[in-house]
Amino acid sequence: MNFYRIDLERWSRRPYFEHFMNENKCSFSLTANVNVTTLLQQLRNKNLKFYPAFIYMVSRVVNKHVEFRTAYNQQGQLGYWDQMIPNYTIFHKEDRSFSAIWTEYSSNFLRFYENYQHDMEQYGNKKGLWVKENVPANTFSISSLPWVQFTSFNLHLYKGEEYLLPIITNGKYFSAGKEILIPVSLQVHHAVCDGYHVSMFINDLQMLADRCEEWI
């Protein structure tokens, strides 16, 4: 993984970054329904699971846009990672707890799916918050609430004013006529992302779902 520092003096976004980091610190979230009708059918046809496919799609979109890879490194320097790795939650039915697992990202879906399966076999039954050690610095968060069809979702990061990476949460998919939709929430820091970037994320995610035959 490589981290590229941003030169504030030459950064075109500097006025916006300084405004939303110093004068009016804020993050914001947007929730949209993504049509997964075709995606679910293709996954069923190939006996593949939805959750790793969702993680893959989200990771692919995050890695496509530098705005979703912008962060502070461990030395407190502002910059962006050349690649992001998903760190996602899994649920334990026995005690209703959850754990976070990270899986090495690959732009090749089947390779990523294999990485996911390997991690689930090794860590899926382990209990605790961080069950896979040595979490890379270039990870971002994905969580799932498959029990509720929510219309909005927002995290309140106390003392997290400098957390610049996106946080993605999906809910329970539901039927709308002949289509199946799933609510997806994206939370970002306004210092690095605007409404346009959030819109790109949702639109790119929908395009991947619609064209899933090209990558599954």
> CA distances (Å), 166 to each of 97, 163, 197, in order?
23, 9, 11
* Structure tokens, 207: 């395009």
118 is catalytic: no
The three-point CA angle 191-54-31 to 5° equals: 45
**Spatial separation of the C-alpha atoms in residues 21 and 86, rounded to whole Å:** 25
Q: Please choose, from the candidates 85, 72, 79, the residue with its C-alpha nearest in 3D space to the C-alpha of residue 5.
A: 79
Q: Which of 156, 189, 190, 197 is catalytic?
A: 190
Number of other residues whose CB lies within 10 A of the CB of residue 100 = 19
* Structure tokens, 147: 């029990």
**Spatial separation of the C-alpha atoms in residues 158 and 152, rounded to whole Å:** 19
DSSP-based three-state secondary structure for 155: coil
Number of other residues whose CB lies within 10 A of the CB of residue 141 = 18
Active site residue ranges:
190
